[in-house]
Amino acid sequence: MSRQYDYLIVGAGLFGATFAYKAKQAGKRCLVIDKRPHLGGNIYCENIEGINVHKYGAHIFHTSNKEVWDLVNSIVEFNRYTNSPVANYKDKLYNLPFNMNTFYQMWGVTTPEEARLKIEEQRRVALVAMKEAGVTEPRNLEEQAILLIGKDIYEKLIKGYTEKQWGRNCLELPAFIIKRLPVRFVFDNNYFNDKYQGIPIGGYNKLIEGLLVGIETKVAADFFDNRTYWENIADKIIFTGKIDEYYESRFGKLEYRTVRFEEEIYDTANYQGNAVVNYTEANIPYTRIIEHKHFEMFGQEIDRIPRTVISKEYSTEWRPGMESYYPVNDNKNMSLYLQYKALADKELNVIFGGRLAEYKYYDMAPIVEQVINIANRGL
């Protein structure tokens, strides 16, 4: 029996939209559905006061893969935005990622050698303390972080922020969460090492709309509200939702962290002078403030719009009905996910893709790269 579509794509986020784009190029008939009232998934932007507001948290595209960069720029031109976050600890500002500017702000050191000696001195103290406790490997995130960067930076710039983010004491968090930290002994505030970086000119909606040109879409359409119907209109399904939900939580529910956003509009052209400011004290309830205009406006252009929009981000424990943002990749949840993955691997006509379907945190570029790889294997 010939079905109406070659692919039903469940979820109109970056994975779903990119897959639809590549499938259309291959001559396939696609329908993209999303339970939200808009396309774009978590990269959706809303225009407020002439500013593209990232409604589900800040998204910065970065990659060293030229094929990925060329693909997204063939849809919409990207700007020159460079992610250079700032950390606020007790009203003192520190540059991120940890670099010579940070070390100067923290200790007054001015050379890489001085900075290395300072960090090494604090690492030695931590190693001695662990040895006295009879342990050779870090037992938790706190011990791991201090071994990597020293006590001062850990206590001011990592501890409070991380505990707010995870809702748990650093002594209770596994060491593997922070196996690596970007540490640079140069005066460079660029957070990413990638060759290419930027934001779509006009916002991420331009990227999604461009990917989905000529493709049938339906919003406010929940796959699970009419599952039998949706499963029978296409030869194959691309599923980007929660893998445990697809399998009706037969082994139990996977856990997530979620984020709550508080938007505020100010009668000022420039609220904090930077797109991203982290608040690393434990007693400040939000983890960071995003000022959205800085993603797309630079220099004096910022003053062109006399108002600004900020979002305060609050990291909280996920409960049913909330948006699922970050998988909790501890042993319990990963063991549960592997049970679902074993089922998914046996599916002949369903492809699971994206952070919810793969229970994995993804940046945007690897999502695009993954879809390119799937397409190259043949759609």
257 is annotated as an active-site residue: yes
Residue 180: active-site member:
yes
Catalytic status, residue 313: yes
User: Which residue is catalytic, options 155, 194, 323, 363?
Assistant: 363
Which one is catalytic: 114, 257, 263, 286?
Answer: 257
Q: Which of 80, 180, 250, 377 is catalytic?
A: 180
* 3-state per-residue secondary structure call for the chain: CCCCEEEEEECCCHHHHHHHHHHHHCCCCEEEECCCCCCCHHHCEEEECCEEEECCCCCCEEECCHHHHHHHHHHCCECCCCCCCEEEECCEEEECCECHHHHHHHHCCCCHHHHHHHHHHHHHHHHHHHHHCCCCCCCCHHHHHHHHHCHHHHHHHHHHHHHHHHCCCCCCCCHHHHCCCCECCCCCCCCCCCCEEECECCCHHHHHHHHCCCCEEECCCCHHHCHHHHHCCEEEEEECCCHHHHCCCCCCCCCEEEEEEEEEEECCCCCCCCCEEEECCCCCCCCEEEEHHHHCCCHHHHHHCCCEEEEEEEEEECCCCCCCCEECCCHHHHHHHHHHHHHHCCCCCEEECCCCCCCCCCCHHHHHHHHHHHHHCCC
Per annotation, catalytic residue among 244, 255, 291, 313: 313
139 tagged catalytic: no
Q: Is 363 a catalytic residue?
A: yes
Please tell me which residue in 7, 143, 184, 279 is annotated as part of the active site.
184
244, 279, 288, 325: the catalytic one is: 288
Catalytic residues: 180, 184, 257, 288, 313, 361, 363
